[in-house]
Structure 1
Amino acid sequence: MDCRLGCGACCIAPSITSAIPGMPMGKPAGVRCIQLNADNLCMIFGQPERPDVCAEFSASIDVCGTTNEQALWLITDLESSTC
């Protein structure tokens, strides 16, 4: 499965403990990544400063569902069950 262009759920729902340019301490769950633009596209996609955890994410139906809203709900649920 390919990521849905403009979804951004994986850049909003999970906490990220790795440093992100502009967010040196990472980001808490539910907070938009500072590198996510208004169209929900990663501004550092493919760049070396992109955190490994972001680069290693791969979309799947189990995590992303069939809509952007479902992806946000599923990833939020996964995040809350791993805290």
Structure 2
Amino acid sequence: MPQGKPPGVRCAQLDDNNLCRLFGDPRRPDVCKRFNYDPELCGTSRNQALVNLAAWEAAT
């Protein structure tokens, strides 16, 4: 996404299993490389992670 990813928009690089197509690829954006799994943010489900991410995006 050359212009950046707007909040709430699914990343174009996610596959049908919500896995990054660019994982391990040098073209993967730096912001994604720095984003590590965090149980507090990700929770125990995809839905919980999306709720938490939406709250972070709204706060910034």
TM-score by length of 1: 0.68
Query: Which one has a larger percent helix, Structure 1 or Structure 2?
Result: 2
Equivalent positions of 1:24-63 (< 5 A) are 24-63=2-41
The percent identity for this pair of structures is 52
Q: Size of the alignment, in residue pairs? A: 60
Cross-structure match for 2:57: 79
User: Gaps spanning 5+ residues in structure 1: where?
Assistant: 1-22
- Is 1:70 matched with 2:52? no
CA deviation string 1:20-47 (max 9, x = no partner)? xxx2111101111111111111111110
Q: How far apart, in 1, do the equivalents of 2:17 and 2:45 lie?
A: 16
Bigger RCO of structures 1 and 2 (CA < 8 A, at least 6 apart): 1
Off by >6 Å, runs of 4+ in structure 1: none
* AA aligned opposite 2:8: G
